[in-house]
Amino acid sequence: MNVPKYTREIFERLSKGNFICQNAPDTFEKRLFDICEQNVETLEKYFSPIGFELKYGSGYFYFSKELQENQVEAKLENLLHLLDYVEMFLQFDEYFTVGWRGTPIALAEAATDNVVIKERIEKIRGLSGDNLFKRCEDIFLKMKKDGYMALENEYEKRYVVLTSYEYLVDFFKNVKEVEHHEPA
């Protein structure tokens, strides 16, 4: 099978649970996205025998694989934390979506002026830091670590929401649909 150049790099990135996003500020990641997009069928066939299913959404790629029960619980727990973050960001800016740009300092300033945002941040478990700015910075870092944001400008500490955010949106929509369709 003729696999494209950088298949190893694609595997290394995706097998760690990361996304490859079309709108990533990193030019190499954009290149990997283009390679995936141009070689979807080849890569699907290549990765499938080793237990990795290449999935793609609107502007992003990721691996899906069979999870054990304890892994499913951990993934759901993480998604619930991310729901808290998303709700807080939407309170901060109703236009929070793919391509949105912001900084931890702007969030901290908004929380200083808006008690609802501040309370949401204070209720989020697992944040380190004893001041509001540090907690806001932790939120951005967590979103980056999970692959839904990227640091776009290191000097300004400005982040951008990646296309992988649509994965979260789709997941939360599906959960909502299941809730509405369950028998009473």
Q: Is the pTM of this model over 0.85?
A: yes
For the chain, what's the residue count? 184
Could you read off the pLDDT of 79-106 as tens digits, one per residue? Answer: 888 888 999 999 999 999 999 999 999 9
Could you read off the pLDDT of 7-40 as tens digits, one per residue? Answer: 999 999 999 989 999 999 999 999 999 999 999 9
